Amino acid sequence: MKKLFWSFSLLATLLTGCGKQNDMIKVGEFASLTGKEATFGQSSHEGTSLAIEEINTAGGVLGKKLELLTEDTQSKAGEPATVVNKLISRDGVVAVLGEVASSRSLEAAPICQQNKIPMISPSSTNPKVTESGDYIFRVCFIDPFQGTVMANFATKTLKAKKIAVFTDAKSDYSKGLAKFFKDQFTANGGTITAELDYNGGDKDFKAQLTAIKATSPDGVFVPGYYTDVAIICIQAKQLGLNVPFFGGDGWESEKLVEIGKEAVEGTYFSTHYHSDVGSAKSKSFVANYKKRFNGKTPDALSACAYDSAFVLADAIKRAGSTEGLKVRDALAATKGLEAVTGTITINEKRDPVKAAVILKVENGKYKYLETVNP
């Protein structure tokens, strides 16, 4: 009997890969590593990877190492659901980190919620993301704040009275941010001269830009993603629409200046972080990131993703468990966590309240202008 028991347990051990799986805590990540918004996923993945490596070097969590399993959403609708289902059902991850684009986070959130697997978006700012359910968190500010920040910037700094808004009709992020911007800008006494739409991935924006030009705005607010924004700025210049263009965090990519060149000079956008400013925590992050990624300077996406992994590790430690409900409860109780992008306290809506930074494109670089506190 005893002998039989031992051979069974030996067999069981062999079948589960010598117990190796039990020594690792699996964390899923879904990101746009390829496609239209590839730099979002690539920057995020670097931030997440660095955090996981540092956590493991420091001994891991609950005596175990974290194993990061990354899936590519290809910047496409439809992929988030497929890959997050895979991460949960096939791989058995204990939590999911991602996505950047709000529409893609919104697609995956109900799946995490249904499976009671906590999801943390590093940088999706549309309010609806965390409204998807009580297992869905984020570590960045939300767009009612970001829209207000840029509306006040338009009124106070640009001294603009009339603004045109050009929105990506396919993006929840763009539609939300456009609305929050308009609400505050009109509350400031400003006028919206034109509201026009495009579809992310379009190549010709001239018809809408011509219509915008006809309304003689003082500036144009484009709450879009960098690939479209760069082309929009180029075509605006070609049409002689020489007023300031400005937008939100979706502009942040080294590709914006690579594609847009002089057409994006003198534009402005708000985002979550700039490597020139910040705490001691931020400075050591920049140094470690540069060491790890061949001298590359981290952007806001890397910083937010890095923070998302630390927020998760901190919650698993406090939960003393990787069980979904316990990790969820610990995430909801996150308080005063010193992170790279600021201090993170998760509120009752599962969002933190954090500052924004405003950057100006100057000589092909992103120059820090100011920090706006909530």
Residue carrying the six token digits 């990624």? 293
249 near ligand PHE, rule: CB under 6 A:
yes
User: Using CA of residue 131, residue 132, residue 136, residue 137, what is the dihedral sign?
Assistant: negative
Pick between residue 103 and residue 155 the one whose CB is nearest to ligand PHE: 103
| Binding footprint of ligand PHE, residue count (CB under 6 A) | 15
- 74 forms part of the interface with ligand PHE (CB under 6 A): no
Q: Are 256 and 231 in contact (CB under 8 A)?
A: no
* Residue among 61 and 264 whose Cβ is closer to ligand PHE: 264
Per DSSP, helices labelled H in the chain are 2-15, 38-57, 79-85, 102-115, 128-131, 143-152, 172-187, 206-214, 226-238, 254-260, 280-292, 300-319, 324-332
The answer to whether 307 contacts ligand PHE (rule: CB under 6 A) is no
Phi and psi at 239, nearest 5°, equal -90, 0
Q: Of residues 29, 32, 40, 328, which one binds ligand PHE by CB under 6 A? A: 40
Closer residue to ligand PHE in complex, CB, 52/101: 101
Instruction: Supply the minimum distance, in Å, between the C-beta of residue 77 and ligand PHE.
Output: 13
Instruction: Of 234, 161, 167, give the one whose Cα is nearest residue 195.
Output: 167
Smallest gap from Cβ 248 to ligand PHE, in A, equals 7
Cβ-based nearer residue to ligand PHE, 75 or 123:
123
Instruction: Map the footprint of ligand PHE across residues 144-203, applying CB under 6 A.
Output: 173
**Residue closest to 262 by CA, chosen among 366, 189, 364:** 364
Question: Measured from the CB of residue 188, what is the shortest distance to ligand PHE in angstroms?
Answer: 23
| 100 or 236: CB nearest ligand PHE | 100
> Does 302 sit near ligand PHE (CB under 6 A)?
no
8 CB-near residues (< 8 Å, 6+ apart):
none
Residue nearest to ligand PHE (CB): 173
Cβ atoms 88, 71 nearer than 8 A: no
Of the pair 75, 126, the CB lying nearest ligand PHE is at 126
Q: Decide whether 167 or 193 has the Cβ nearer to ligand PHE.
A: 167
Least distance (Å) between residue 285 CB and ligand PHE? 16
Contact flag: residue 46 with ligand PHE (CB under 6 A):
no
* 102 counts as binding ligand PHE under rule CB under 6 A: yes
- Kind and range of the H or E run holding 220: strand 219-221
Residues 206 and 190 sit within 8 Å (Cβ to Cβ): no
Q: Tell me whether residue 9 is exposed, middle or buried, using C-beta atoms within 10 angstroms of its C-beta: 0 to 12, 13 to 18, 19 or more.
A: exposed
Q: How far is the CB of 343 from ligand PHE (least distance, A)?
A: 19
The nearest distance, CB 125 to ligand PHE, in angstroms, is: 4
80 is a site residue for ligand PHE (CB under 6 A): no
Closer by beta carbon to ligand PHE, 30 or else 40? 40
* 270 is an interface residue for ligand PHE by CB under 6 A: no
For 69, phi then psi, to 5°, come to: -115, 115
CB closer to ligand PHE, 123 vs 334? 123
Which of 46, 71, 79, 252 is in the footprint of ligand PHE by CB under 6 A?
A: 252
Residue 329 CB, nearest approach to ligand PHE (Å):
26
Q: Mask: binding to ligand PHE, 116-135, rule CB under 6 A, as x and -?
A: -------xxxx---------
Decide: is 306 part of the binding site for ligand PHE (CB under 6 A).
no
Q: What is the CA radius of gyration of the chain?
A: 22
> CA dihedral in degrees (331, 335, 341, 342; nearest 10)?
170
d(CA 322, CA 341): 25
The only residue of 100, 164, 231, 316 in contact with ligand PHE, by rule CB under 6 A = 100
Neighbours of 140 (CB within 10 A): 31
DSSP characters over 221-237: E----HHHHHHHHHHHH
Residues that bind ligand PHE (CB under 6 A): 40, 100-102, 123-126, 173, 249-250, 252, 271, 300-301
